[in-house]
């Protein structure tokens, strides 16, 4: 299956299916006949599991491999510097290309290396997590600064995305949950029919079939694309993608990154936002049914006990997406109809207490 992505700055394809990454070499031959060098950027976990397959296919191109530490540790200045050094030492030039194989962390790092090396060289993404259906579409690439996540980055689109479902079979349970929370988010903010499909078809995240996985990712990508294609630089409706993230980011930060996956924190944030929506925008929705469904899928649905509500509020206020002093929440008027609301501190604290 192929999804066409059209942004103001670029048009590219996302190929989704079991085994699609085996077509990368012929894609390069067709689209980059003058290609000089290929730099593969991955992380240590993905390298162990999936690199040989890719190297086999690209052998004749003698690709250079840069392996970052696993997960979020790939997004430091230090690793970014090392990746650029590798590109320079191996004499990549403007006709070279970067292949990113890994989760969102690798995609963000590799994309930013590609965006900044010689003012920009082409890159291709091979996402290996469910969460990467979100990160691989939209063109945001970034590394972290000690003072904030994703603070140093660019908008930079790939030449293509090869979403090979076979590569997702090795994902640990927590990472499946993390990524699938974003799939559920995409359904809730834009596609009621997709939400109904999820609710009646998905009851075990560890036993997802290829069909379920492929449908979920394709739908999720289409929703993400809907919001970003109209708003590449995030000035308007792209903000709706932040559903569940206002509280989610705060929980993630309070728990310490790595102790609670992003998606698991966002799930709690979505439940909170759904409750606020019922109260403030008249959303009519069976929240109890939603909660018992996601509990069955393995999600936590409450804020971990030791986190204080005041701390959470402070974190929400620091979020780069909140304007000035008031915290903004994405709420739903209906499933598929998001809107943005400023919520007073006192109401937030009170509803957190009752949550
Ligand atoms: P990740 O890349 O850190 O991967 C999670 C873990 O799974 C890592 O330890 C990784 O090594 C491992 N892994 C990856 N693929 C695997 C596989 N197939 N089998 C076994 N293990 C595998 O995390 P993620 O959840 O994919 O992405 C999170 C990152 O994405 C964050 O840095 C976040 O900021 C970023 N993000 C970016 C955007 C964007 O628009 N650019 C959007 C959402 C998230
Ligand atoms: Zn997210």
Residue 44 CA, closest ligand 1 atom number: 11
**322: pLDDT strictly greater than 60:** no
- Ligand 1 proximity of 125 Cβ (cutoff 6 Å): no
Please state the ipTM of this predicted complex. 0.99
CA 332 to chain centre: 21
- Ligand 1 proximity of 68 Cβ (cutoff 6 Å): no
The mean pLDDT of the chain is: 94
Task: Tell me if 106 is assigned to a ligand binding site.
Answer: yes
- Taking Cα atoms as reference points, which of 159, 122, 180, 227 lies closest to residue 13? 159
- Residue-level pLDDT at 9: 78
User: In the predicted model, what is the mean pLDDT of residues 232-260?
Assistant: 85
Confidence of residue 233 (pLDDT cuts 50, 70, 90): low
- Ligand 1 proximity of 248 Cβ (cutoff 6 Å): no
SS (H, E, C) 82-96: HHHHHHHHCCCCCCC
For residue 339, report the distance from its CA to the centre of ligand 1, in Å. Answer: 28
**235: pLDDT strictly greater than 70:** no
Ligand with the closest atom to the CA of 75: 1
DSSP letters along 18-67, please?
Answer: TTGGGGHHHHHHHH-TT---EEEEEEHHHHHHHHHHHHHHHGGG--EEEE
Parallel, antiparallel or unpaired: strands 2-6 and 160-164: unpaired
- Phi, psi for residue 327 in degrees, rounded to 5: -85, 135
- Ligand 1 proximity of 138 Cβ (cutoff 6 Å): yes
For the purposes of burial, counting CB atoms within 10 Å of the CB of 306, is it exposed (0-12), middle (13-18) or buried (19 or more)?
exposed
**30: pLDDT strictly greater than 60:** yes
Domain ranges in the chain are: 2-170, 173-354
- Residue-level pLDDT at 229: 84
For residue 284, report the distance from its CA to the centre of ligand 1, in Å. Answer: 34
- Ligand 1 proximity of 129 Cβ (cutoff 6 Å): yes
Q: For residue range 137-185, list pLDDT tens digits in order.
A: 989 999 999 988 899 999 999 999 999 999 999 999 999 999 999 999 9
Task: Tell me if 105 is assigned to a ligand binding site.
Answer: yes
Q: Which residue has the tokens 């509020």?
A: 313
- Ligand 1 proximity of 220 Cβ (cutoff 6 Å): no
- Ligand 1 proximity of 132 Cβ (cutoff 6 Å): yes
Q: Whose CA is nearest to atom 6 of ligand 1?
A: 71
Q: What is the pTM of this model?
A: 0.95
**23: pLDDT strictly greater than 80:** yes
Residue 50 CA, closest ligand 1 atom number: 18
**307: pLDDT strictly greater than 80:** yes
DSSP letters along 214-266, please?
Answer: HHHHHHHHHHHHHHHHT-TTSSSGGGGGGTTHHHHHHHHHHH-TTSS-HHHHH
For residue 131, report the distance from its CA to the centre of ligand 1, in Å. Answer: 6
User: In the predicted model, what is the mean pLDDT of residues 9-24?
Assistant: 94
- Residue-level pLDDT at 321: 60
For residue 13, report the distance from its CA to the centre of ligand 1, in Å. Answer: 21
- Residue-level pLDDT at 234: 62
For residue 49, report the distance from its CA to the centre of ligand 1, in Å. Answer: 15
Asked if CATH classification 3.30.70.260 holds for the domain at 2-170, the reply, yes or no, is no
Asked if the domains 2-170 and 173-354 are classified in one and the same CATH topology, the answer is: no
- Residue-level pLDDT at 45: 98
- Residue-level pLDDT at 72: 92
Tokens representing 226 are: 């809907």
**Mutate-to-test residue for ligand 1 from 49, 100, 104, 111, highest number of ligand atoms within 8 A of CB:** 104
- Ligand 1 proximity of 46 Cβ (cutoff 6 Å): yes
Ligand with the closest atom to the CA of 127: 1
- Residue-level pLDDT at 99: 98
Asked if CATH classification 1.20.1090.10 holds for the domain at 173-354, the reply, yes or no, is yes
Whether 65 contacts 4, CB under 8 Å: no
């Amino acid at each position: 299956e192929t999804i066409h992505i059209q942004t103001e700055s670029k048009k590219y394809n996302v190929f989704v299916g079991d085994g699609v990454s085996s077509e990368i070499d012929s894609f390069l031959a067709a689209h980059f006949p003058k290609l000089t060098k290929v730099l593969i950027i991955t992380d240590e976990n993905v390298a162990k599991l999936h690199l040989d397959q890719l190297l086999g296919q690209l052998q004749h191109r003698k690709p250079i491999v840069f392996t970052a530490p696993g997960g979020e540790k790939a997004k430091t200045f230090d690793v970014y510097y090392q990746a650029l050094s590798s590109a320079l030492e191996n004499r990549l030039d403007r006709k070279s290309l970067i292949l990113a194989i890994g989760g969102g962390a690798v995609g963000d790092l590799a994309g930013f290396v590609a965006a900044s090396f010689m003012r920009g060289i082409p890159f291709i993404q091979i996402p290996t997590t469910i969460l990467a259906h979100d990160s691989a579409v939209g063109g945001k690439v970034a590394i972290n600064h000690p003072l904030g996540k994703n603070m140093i980055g660019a908008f930079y689109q790939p030449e293509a995305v090869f979403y090979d479902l076979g590569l997702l079979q090795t994902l640990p349970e927590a990472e499946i949950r993390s990524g699938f929370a974003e799939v559920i988010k995409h359904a809730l903010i834009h596609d009621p029919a997709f939400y109904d499909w999820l609710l009646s078809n998905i009851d075990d995240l560890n036993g997802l079939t290829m069909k379920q996985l492929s449908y979920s990712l394709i739908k999720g990508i289409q929703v993400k694309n809907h919001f970003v294609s109209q708003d590449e630089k995030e000035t308007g409706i792209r903000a709706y993608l932040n559903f569940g993230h206002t509280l989610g980011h705060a929980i993630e930060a309070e728990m310490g990154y790595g102790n609670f996956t992003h998606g698991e924190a966002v799930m709690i944030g979505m439940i909170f936002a759904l409750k606020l929506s019922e109260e403030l925008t008249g959303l009519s929705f069976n929240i109890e049914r939603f909660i018992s469904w996601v509990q069955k899928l393995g999600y936590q649905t409450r804020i971990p006990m030791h986190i204080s509500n005041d701390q959470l509020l402070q974190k929400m206020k620091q979020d780069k997406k909140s304007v000035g002093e008031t915290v903004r929440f994405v709420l739903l008027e209906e499933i598929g109809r998001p809107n943005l609301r400023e919520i007073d501190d006192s109401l937030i604290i009170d509803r957190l207490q009752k949550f």
